[in-house]
Chains A and B, each alone.
Chain A
Amino acid sequence: MQIDKDLVAASATPLVLAILAEGESYGYAILRRVRELSDGDLEWTDGMLYPLLQRLHRLEYVTAEWRTPPEGRRRRYYAMTDVGHAALADHQRQWLVVTRTLGDVWRGAGRLPFAPGTA
Chain B
Amino acid sequence: MSPVEVLETQIAEWRAFVERRPGVARPDAEELEAHLRDQIADLCAAGLAKDEAFLVAVKRMGALDDLSREFAREHSGRLWRQLVLDSAEDLPPADTRWREAALFAIAAAVIIQVARLAGGFDGDLPWGVRNGGLFVLPVLAGYFARLRGLSVRHCLLAATPCAVAAVLINVYPFDHDAATEYLVAAHLPVALWFVVAYPYMNGGLRSHEQRMDFVRFTGEWSIYYVLIALGGGVLMALTRMVLKPTGVKVGRVIEWVLPSGAAGAVIVAAWLVEAKQRVIENMAPVLTMLFTPLFAVMLVVAAVAYAVTGFSGAFDRELVGVFDALLVVVLGLVLYGMSARDPSAPAGGMDRIQLVAVGAALLLDVVVLAAMVARVGDRGFTANRTAALGLNVVLLVNLAGAAWLAGRFLSGHATFHRLERWQTSYLPVLAVWVAAVVVVLPPLFAFR
Contact = CB atoms under 8 A, between A and B. Distances in A.
Interface of A: 9-10, 12-13, 26-28, 45-48, 50-52, 54-55, 58-59, 64-66, 68, 73-76
Given A55-B74, A58-B92, A64-B149, A9 B32 contact: no
B89 A59 contact: yes
B83 interface: yes
Contacts of A58: 74, 77, 92-93
Given A65-B151, A74-B204, A75-B31, A48 B83 contact: yes
A85 B391 CA distance: 56
A65 B207 CA distance: 16
A27 B64 CA distance: 17
16 contacts: A9-B83, A9-B84, A28-B35, A45-B67, A47-B61, A47-B67, A48-B83, A51-B71, A54-B28, A58-B74, A58-B92, A58-B93, A66-B27, A66-B202, A68-B204, A75-B31
Contact of A50 (B31, B66, B203): B31
Contacts of A28: 34-35, 38-39
A74 B34 CA distance: 7
Nearest to B204: A74
Interface string B188-220: 000000000000001110010000000000000
Given A13-B86, A51-B70, 15 more contacts: A9-B84, A12-B83, A27-B31, A27-B34, A45-B63, A47-B64, A48-B83, A51-B71, A54-B28, A58-B77, A58-B92, A66-B148, A68-B204, A74-B34, A76-B31
B62 interface: yes
Contacts of A12: 83, 85
Interface in B75-116: 75, 77, 80, 82-86, 89, 92-93
Contact of A27 (B35, B60, B62, B203): B35
Question: Which secondary structure dominates where chain A touches chain B?
Answer: helix
Contacts of B86: 13
Given A9-B84, A28-B39, A50 B71 contact: yes
Interface string B117-161: 000000000000000000000000000000011010000000000
A46 B66 contact: no
A73 B38 contact: yes
A50 B203 CA distance: 21
Interface in B39-73: 39, 60-64, 66-67, 70-71, 73
Contacts of A10: 85
B31 A45 contact: no
B37 interface: yes
Contact of B62 (A45, A54, A65): A45
Nearest to A13: B85
A64 B202 CA distance: 12
B207 A74 contact: yes
Contacts of B85: 9-10, 12-13
Contacts of A54: 28, 71, 74-75
A24 B260 CA distance: 44
A51 B38 CA distance: 18
A73 B30 CA distance: 11
B22 to A, nearest CB: 13
A31 B107 CA distance: 43
A73 B83 contact: no
A48 B148 CA distance: 22
B204 A48 contact: no
Contact of B67 (A48, A59, A66): A48
